[in-house]
Structure 1
C-alpha cells in the first residue's frame, strides 16, 4: 500500500511540474509576442531568456544572442553562444560571433567566422571585413586576396559608411577597397611605396570626392615622404 501511495505521489508531482512548465511556456510566449509588439527590447530579452531556460533550444539561444548584438551588447552576445568555431553554426550564430568579436577587438577570433560566412555566401561586403581584419593581423596574402575580390565584385550601388567625422558619410564600396589597397601597398614598403599609395588614393578620390579618410591619409603619407627626403638630405650633407 505504501509503495502504491509513493508511486501515485511521484506521478502527481511529475504531472504537476509538466503542467506548470506548460503554463509558464504559454505565458512567456505570450509575453514575448507582446514585448515585440511594444518594441521593448529588454522585455524581449527577458522573455527569450525565460523561454530558453524552460525549453532550451539552439534557435532560441541564437535569437537571444542576435538581439544582444543588435543592441551593441557584444559581450553578452558572445557569453550567450560562445566564440568557438562550429561547423553546425546557423547563419545567425556565425554573424553574431563574427560581428561581436570584431567589435570586441578580437580580430584573430573574428576572422574565422567571417571566413565561414564568406565561404557560405561570398559577397563584397564580407570581403571588405576580411581584408580589414587581416590587415590588423598583418596577413598579407589574405589581405590581397580579399581586396582583389572586392575590386572585382563591388558594384556601383554598393556603399560603405565611415564615421571618423562628426557627420557620418558614405562612399562607393569600390572606393573603400581602393583605400585599403593603398594602405596595403604602403605597408609593403613604407619607404619606397609612398608615391604608389598616393596614386591609388588620388584615383579613389576621383570616384569619391567626399572621402575624408583618404584626404587625411594622403596628407600623412606626403608628410612622411617629406620627412624621409629631409633625412636623406641631411645624410648627404
Structure 2
C-alpha cells in the first residue's frame, strides 16, 4: 500500500510538471509575439531563449541566432548556432554562420558557408562576398573566378555600399567588382603591376566618381610607385 501511495504521488508530480511546462511554453510564446509587435529586440531574444530551453527546435535556434546577427552580436550568434557545417543547415543558418564568421575576422571559415549559399542560390552579390574573402586569404585564383562571374552577371541597377567614410555611400556593383579586379592584379606582383592596377582604378573612378575607397587606394599606389622610382634612381647612381 505504501508503495502504491508513493507511486501515485510521483505520477501526480510528473503530471503537474508537464502541465507547468506547457503553461510556460504558452506564456513565452505569447510574450515573444508581444515583443515582436512592440519591436523590442531584447524582449524577442529573451522570449526565444526561454522557448529554446523549454521546447527546443532548430527553427527557433536559427531565428535567435539570426536576431543576434542583425543586432551585430556576432559572437552570441555563433555561440547560439555553432560554427560547424551541417548537411541539414537551413538557408538562415548558413547566412548567420557566413556573415558572423566574416564579421569576427574568420574569412577562411566564412568562405565555406558562402560557397554553400552560392551553390544553392548563386548571385552577383554572393560572388562579390566570395571574391573579397578569397582576396583576404590570398587565394587569387578563386577570387578571379568569382570576379569573372560577378562581372558577367551583374545588372546595372545593382549597388554595393561602403563604410570607410563617416557617411556610408553606394557605388554600382560593377565598379565594386572592378575595384576587386584591380586588387587581385596588384597582389599578383606588387611592383610590376602597379601601373596596370592604376589603369583599372582610373577607369573605374570615371564610372563612379564618388568611389572614395578607389581614390584612397590610388593615392597609396602612387606613393609606392614614387618610392620605387626613387629607390631605382638611387641604385642607378651607384
Shared topology, TM-score over 0.5?
Answer: yes
Q: Which residue of 2 aligns with 1:148?
A: 148
Number of residue equivalences? 237
Within-5 A mapping of 1:78-227: 78-227=78-227
Partner of 2:16: 16
Q: CA deviation at 1:161?
A: 0.5
Q: Which runs of 5 or more structure 1 residues have no equivalent in the other structure?
A: none
Tell me by how many angstroms 1:110 deviates: 0.8
| Equivalent residue, structure 2, for 1:7 | 7
Q: In structure 1, how many angstroms separate the alpha carbons of the residues matched to 2:236 and 2:159?
A: 48
The SS at the match of 1:30 is helix
Matches of 1:107 and 1:69, distance apart in 2: 16
More off after superposition, 10-19 vs 169-178: 10-19
* 1: CA distance, partners of 2:160 / 2:135: 18
Question: Are 2:224 and 1:229 equivalent residues in the alignment?
Answer: no
Counterpart-to-counterpart distance in 2, 1:20 and 1:193:
70
Deviations 1:124-162 (A, max 9, x none): 111111111111111111111111111111111110011
Deviation at 1:2, TM superposition (A): 2.1
Q: Moved runs in structure 1, 4+ residues, more than 4 A?
A: none
Q: How far apart, CA to CA, are the structure 2 residues paired with 1:165 and 1:104?
A: 21
Q: CA deviation at 1:3?
A: 2.6
Local SS of the residue matching 1:83: coil
Indicate whether 1:65 and 2:84 are aligned: no
Q: CA RMSD in A?
A: 0.9
| TM, length-normalised to structure 1 | 0.98
Determine the C-alpha separation between the residues in 2 that align with 1:87 and 1:138.
28
Q: Distance in 1 between matches of 2:105 and 2:71?
A: 17
Task: Give the Cα–Cα distance (whole angstroms) in 1 for the partners of residues 212 and 59 of structure 2.
Answer: 42
Q: Does 1:77 align with 2:77?
A: yes
